[in-house]
């Protein structure tokens, strides 16, 4: 899933490409992705793109005061096309194409989603805050408003909830997902199962600094890259996420995994849990 650094890089790249361009039309190829009806999708036709920004994991296109908001979900992506077909995209539930934005110079964007689980969401709204997912976002971890004390309050309010889940919950902190929460906790040498309210003042300091440094470094690595290279850059920079069975680059121990119904987390026992492997509930059930 694209997270804060990749969506930020996409926003910056697209802002440069779309500056001053007018939208001719938006074709919807998979109707399940369009989540709003007022304003209609046709309201974007003829509008100038005034900017592209990021809110958490959402891409926000300002089209003359009407907003196209895009959430790429688990398997969505945006692909720049120097030339798009002149004929409108035909609806096809089996195609990876979800929507196409056609610009006045013949170029455009293909918004795609791989796989059969269609979760990509596209909204046309008068205000980005009209999108429920944006309205309930927590603070952006790279914004000035996200201070050490703000993080401390979030952790305290979360009680005994596992810190991995607290970092991933968008209403707590906007933009961190499964991959970067793994990386942040590895860099901070904290167990993903550690209760949020159990951190000492020194651990809160460390976690805050690590969140800022890990995300800032990822944004810097991605800045200026075309969309086609962002996924590869993210994957190559991961130390533990997605590297089950490989060596931890810090200590050389094997990277381990805990699996859940629809996702998994990766960690290093030596770096994060005092050498103790965490219980993998899915594996435990298979062994019974």
> Is 57 a residue of the active site?
yes
**Confidence at residue 282, expressed as pLDDT on a 0 to 100 scale:** 57
49-55 vs 121-125, strand pairing mode: unpaired
pLDDT higher than threshold 90 for residue 283: no
**Confidence at residue 288, expressed as pLDDT on a 0 to 100 scale:** 36
- Confidence bin at 287 (pLDDT 50/70/90): very low
- Confidence bin at 99 (pLDDT 50/70/90): very high
Phi, psi (5° rounding) for residue 14?
A: -70, -30
Mean pLDDT of the chain: 94
**Confidence at residue 118, expressed as pLDDT on a 0 to 100 scale:** 85
The active-site residue, picked from 263, 276, 281, 282, is 263
Q: Which residue has the higher pLDDT, 100 or 261?
A: 100
Give percent of the chain above pLDDT 90. 85
Q: How far apart are CA 266 and CA 240, in angstroms?
A: 6
pLDDT higher than threshold 90 for residue 281: no
Across 232-249, average pLDDT: 95
**Confidence at residue 86, expressed as pLDDT on a 0 to 100 scale:** 87
**Confidence at residue 53, expressed as pLDDT on a 0 to 100 scale:** 97
Across 215-231, average pLDDT: 91
The active-site residue, picked from 54, 57, 194, 239, is 57
- Confidence bin at 269 (pLDDT 50/70/90): very high
pLDDT higher than threshold 50 for residue 52: yes
| Domains of the chain by start residue, with CATH | 4-135 (3.20.190.10), 148-287 (1.10.8.50)
Across 193-217, average pLDDT: 98
Across 176-199, average pLDDT: 98
**Confidence at residue 280, expressed as pLDDT on a 0 to 100 scale:** 78
Assign 3-class secondary structure to 77-100.
EEEEECCCCCCCCCCCCCCCEEEE
Q: How many angstroms separate the Cα of 254 from the Cα of each of 17, 48, 193?
A: 43, 52, 18
pLDDT higher than threshold 50 for residue 46: yes
Taking the model in full, what pTM does it have? 0.92
> Is 3 a residue of the active site?
yes
Across 251-265, average pLDDT: 91
Across 18-40, average pLDDT: 95
pLDDT higher than threshold 60 for residue 42: yes
pLDDT higher than threshold 60 for residue 131: yes
The active-site residue, picked from 3, 6, 8, 183, is 3
Q: How far apart are CA 184 and CA 141, in angstroms?
A: 12
pLDDT higher than threshold 80 for residue 232: yes
The active-site residue, picked from 2, 128, 139, 141, is 2
pLDDT higher than threshold 50 for residue 286: no
Q: How far apart are CA 124 and CA 277, in angstroms?
A: 46
Rounded CA Rg of the chain = 20
**Confidence at residue 207, expressed as pLDDT on a 0 to 100 scale:** 98
Give percent of the chain above pLDDT 70. 97
Reduce the DSSP state of residue 33 to 3 states and report it: helix
């Amino acid at each position: 899933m694209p997270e804060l650094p990749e969506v930020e890089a996409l926003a910056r790249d697209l802002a440069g490409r779309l500056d001053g361009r007018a939208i001719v039309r938006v074709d919807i190829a998979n109707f399940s992705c369009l989540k709003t009806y007022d304003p209609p999708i046709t309201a974007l036709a003829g509008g100038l793109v005034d900017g592209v920004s990021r809110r958490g994991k959402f891409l926000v296109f300002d089209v003359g005061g009407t907003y196209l908001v895009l959430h790429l979900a688990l398997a969505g992506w945006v692909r720049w096309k120097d030339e798009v077909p002149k004929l409108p995209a035909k609806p096809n539930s089996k195609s990876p194409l979800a929507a196409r934005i056609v610009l006045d110079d013949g170029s455009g964007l293909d918004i795609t989603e791989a796989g059969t689980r269609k979760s990509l969401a596209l909204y046309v709204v008068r205000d980005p805050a009209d999108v429920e997912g944006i309205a309930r976002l927590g603070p952006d971890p790279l914004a000035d408003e996200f201070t050490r004390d703000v993080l401390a309050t979030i952790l305290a309010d979360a009680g005994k909830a596992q810190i991995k889940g607290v970092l991933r919950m968008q209403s707590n902190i906007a933009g961190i997902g499964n991959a970067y929460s793994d990386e942040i906790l590895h860099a901070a040498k904290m167990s993903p199962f550690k209760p949020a309210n159990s951190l000492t003042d020194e651990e809160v300091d460390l976690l805050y600094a690590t969140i800022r440094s890990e995300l800032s470094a990822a944004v810097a690595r991605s800045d200026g890259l075309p969309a086609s290279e962002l996924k590869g850059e993210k994957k190559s920079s991961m130390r533990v996420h997605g590297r089950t069975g490989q060596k931890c680059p810090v200590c050389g121990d094997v990277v381990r995994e805990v699996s859940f119904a629809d996702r998994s987390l990766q960690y290093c026992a030596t770096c994060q849990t005092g050498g103790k492997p965490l219980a993998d509930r899915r594996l435990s059930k298979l062994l019974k």
